[in-house]
């Protein structure tokens, strides 16, 4: 069991990330106000992206930088939980929200633009995070519990 340590969204591609304290999560939009969650092509497997705080910290240490986690462009920063490294695992956030892991979040060239070597630092063991689909919506907030559903 872990907790949500951060929530971020961006309104359109390449837009700056907005860090928020709480968000509405829906089947149609993912994180409300985040462009990626509402993309077409049902089921859309990349509605919500999650990254482990420890993985981001390890990558920062590896490249010798201290860049804010939101620059990874992930929606949720997770502390205290090893995110599953396979598709089909359900994650419950708070009382209502359920996500299902879909694919690894592959590090892109944007990471290399942030810091030389960052793309490679995020590559092993799904360190760049996981993308998920929304199974059940609701409200989430920083500090909410996140756990794997058995």
pLDDT tens-digit map of 103-137? 999 888 888 888 899 989 999 999 999 999 999 99
The full set of domain ranges for the chain reads 2-148
Task: Give, rounded to a whole angstrom, the gap between the first and last alpha carbons of the chain.
Answer: 12
Distance CA 109, CA 12 (A): 18
pLDDT tens-digit map of 30-51? 999 998 887 766 667 789 999 9
Q: Does domain 2-148 have CATH number 2.40.33.20?
A: yes
Tell me the backbone φ, ψ of residue 8, rounded to 5 degrees. -145, 155
pLDDT of residue 109: 80
Q: Is the pLDDT of residue 98 over 70?
A: yes
pLDDT of residue 36: 85
Note whether 91 and 101 are within 8 A (CB): yes
**Residue-wise burial string across 30-41, b where 16 or more C-beta atoms lie within 10 A, e elsewhere:** bbbebebbeeee
Note whether 75 and 9 are within 8 A (CB): yes
Distance CA 145, CA 14 (A): 30
Q: Is the pLDDT of residue 149 over 90?
A: yes
Distance CA 116, CA 118 (A): 6
């Amino acid at each position: 069991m872990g907790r949500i340590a951060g929530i971020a969204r961006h309104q359109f591609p390449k837009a700056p990330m907005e860090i928020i304290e709480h968000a509405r999560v829906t089947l149609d939009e993912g994180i409300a106000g985040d462009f990626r969650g509402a993309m077409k092509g049902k089921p859309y497997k990349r509605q919500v992206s999650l990254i482990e705080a420890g993985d981001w910290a390890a990558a920062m240490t590896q490249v010798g930088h201290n860049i804010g986690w939101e620059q990874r462009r992930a929606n949720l920063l997770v502390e205290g939980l090893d995110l599953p490294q396979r598709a089909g695992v359900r994650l419950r956030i708070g009382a209502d929200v359920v996500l299902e892991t879909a694919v690894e979040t592959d590090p892109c060239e944007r990471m290399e633009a942030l810091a030389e070597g960052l793309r490679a630092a995020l590559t092993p063991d799904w360190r760049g995070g996981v993308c998920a689909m929304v199974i059940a919506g609701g409200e989430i907030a920083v500090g909410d519990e996140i756990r794997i559903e058995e």
